[in-house]
Amino acid sequence: MSIVSTKQMLLKAQQGGYAVAAFNVENMEMVQAICDSANKLKAPVIIATSASALKYAPPALFAAMVYAVAKETSIPVALHLDHGNSFELCEACVKAGYSSVMIDASQQPYEENVKLSRAVVKLCTTYQVPVEAELGHVGGKEDDIKSENDLGTDPIQAAEFVKQTGVNSLAVAIGTTHGVYQGAPKLDFERLSSIRSAVDIPLVLHGASGLSGDAVRACVSRGICKINYATELRAAYTAAVRHVLLENPEAIDPKIFGRAARQCVSEVVLKKMTVLGCEGKA
């Protein structure tokens, strides 16, 4: 299929009581692994690139890879900017063919978050591209995203934020953390339920790498319909490369460890999608 918007994809998930997985990618092998696994499960999928990844390679290059791989599948695939940190980056991604963007001004004062999110919504409306924003912010560190403390999303403020900005989906902070967990996270399910009652647009969970299947399913049952994964895919990819090079230190052909890494990423993707309940929802 060709690349599709996340708008109907997430609304369908919200109505169906399941979640769509958004997987951050760094290279071609990860794109191939994700699309292959999603195609096997007949599941919709979101392929995302972070602001940091777009310093490594430009939006047009990632877009070309995703479009080329996605058209060989029979499932809906969306291309998403994760944690866009500026109006200019969101604009560059939209012009490159991204079908969804996130503007993350969650660490700015509330008024600045509203102002920037509203500006990105206005831009993306012209291109018919949906916008995700974040209110409150998730702790931890991943790429250029760093926050020493969690700031939980306030349900009442969330409703006002959605009204003021017109965003299509909202990332919420309920106790998850970017990067690797140092201990079992304490998720605020009551807060999540309150946000779901106050806000009618799709809700997004960041920092899900490392959460148990039960915790993820509990979030989905309380209204989360998009869940982001990055750290676990990177860890799987890197572990596979290390293993191949340890077993065969004379290897110089990148395709050798690229294939192994692709297989490991594919296995992670299959497991995550099964937990989210999106199997067969394409």
Q: Which of 82, 150, 154, 188 is catalytic?
A: 82
Predicted confidence (pLDDT) per residue in 15-26, tens digit: 999 999 999 999
Q: What is the 3-state secondary structure (H, E, C) of the chain?
A: CCECCHHHHHHHHHHHCCCEEEEECCCHHHHHHHHHHHHHHCCCEEEEEECCHHHHCCHHHHHHHHHHHHCCCCCCEEEEEEEECCHHHHHHHHHHCCCEEEECCCCCCHHHHHHHHHHHHHHHHHHCCCEEEEECECEEEECCEEECCCECCCHHHHHHHHHHHCCCEEEECCCCEECCCCCCCCCCHHHHHHHHHHCCCCEEECCCCCCCHHHHHHHHHCCEEEEEECHHHHHHHHHHHHHHHHHCCCCCCHHHHHHHHHHHHHHHHHHHHHHHCCCCCC
Q: What is the pLDDT of residue 180?
A: 53
Q: What is the pLDDT of residue 213?
A: 93
In total, how many domains does the chain have?
A: 1
Is 253 an active-site residue? no
Total-model pTM: 0.93
Predicted confidence (pLDDT) per residue in 220-263, tens digit: 999 999 999 999 999 999 999 999 999 999 999 999 999 999 99
Note down the domain range covering 124. 6-276
In a domain, 281, yes or no: no
In a domain, 1, yes or no: no
In this prediction, residue 1 has a pLDDT band, given cuts at 50, 70 and 90, of confident
- CATH code, domain carrying 107: 3.20.20.70
In a domain, 38, yes or no: yes
